[in-house]
Chain A
Amino acid sequence: GAVVSQHPSRVICKSGTSVKIECRSLDFQATTMFWYRQFPKKSLMLMATSNEGSKATYEQGVEKDKFLINHASLTLSTLTVTSAHPEDSSFYICSARDREGVIQYFGAGTRLSVL
């Protein structure tokens, strides 16, 4: 199957700093990528849909100024958690949709811990 690389896998930062997470599709071009947040023992919560060359579409209740998404190329989307606080600590996962649109391939996730 297709490969999606997510980096970093783990980050620990101080409160007030910003953290950037990268999501790359390694062997296919992804016009659409998705960013999810997962709380312990819970399902995935879609945060936003990232479209190459256009603004991201955020789900209700997700602060777009807090979670900045950039999708500058067909293989790279980034999520920046700005001015992170302890409540932003979570597991963030990205996915990329293949060209036919029916399959999403997931990255390995990023564990963010804000002290």
Chain B
Amino acid sequence: GEDVEQSLFLSVREGDSSVINCTYTDSSSTYLYWYKQEPGAGLQLLTYIFSNMDMKQDQRLTVLLNKKDKHLSLRIADTQTGDSAIYFCAEIALDSSYKLIFGSGTRLLVRP
């Protein structure tokens, strides 16, 4: 079955770029997502990419997809303290259930 893995923690200085990495196991066409969760809140969809794309950029966010290595990354440019949160990578199930398979989440800490 599908599996999604992420590193657990990342600490960066304010103003630097952050890169959060994710690996997935499904080899078929799929959608991949990045969600942000602030403390005590639900999940906010940041961006998503279809597996036939290599890159997607939206303001400070850049998603890179290496389909050969099944590696997805989220780059946040000019990281701000407000970006401190947990970032979840997710993949959609290929069956008709449309379930999301989540990674464990990466806690991003932005130091002033």
User: Contact residues of A with B, CB < 8 Å?
Assistant: 1, 4, 6, 32, 34, 42-44, 46, 49, 57, 91, 93, 95, 97, 101-109, 111
Contacts and interface: CB of A to CB of B under 8 A. Distances in A.
Contacts of B40: 91, 109, 111
Contacts of B100: 34, 46, 95, 104
Contact-residue size bin, chain B (C-beta under 8 Å from the other chain): 10 to 19
A43 B104 contact: yes
Contact of A97 (B35, B98, B105): B98
A102 B35 contact: no
Grouping DSSP codes into helix (H, G, I), strand (E, B) and loop, the A interface class, with mixed when no group exceeds half, is strand
Contacts of A95: 43, 100
B105 to A, nearest CB: 5
13 contacts: A6-B42, A32-B98, A34-B100, A42-B105, A44-B43, A44-B88, A44-B102, A46-B100, A93-B42, A102-B31, A104-B100, A106-B45, A109-B42
Contact of B97 (A1, A6, A49, A103): A49
Interface of B: 31, 35, 40-45, 48, 88, 92, 97-100, 102-105
B90 to A, nearest CB: 8
Given A43-B104, A43-B105, A102-B92, A107 B99 contact: no
A49 B31 CA distance: 19
A109 B92 CA distance: 21
Nearest to A59: B99
B45 A103 contact: yes
A94 B27 CA distance: 28
B5 to A, nearest CB: 11
B99 A34 contact: yes
Given A106-B42, A109-B40, A43 B102 contact: yes
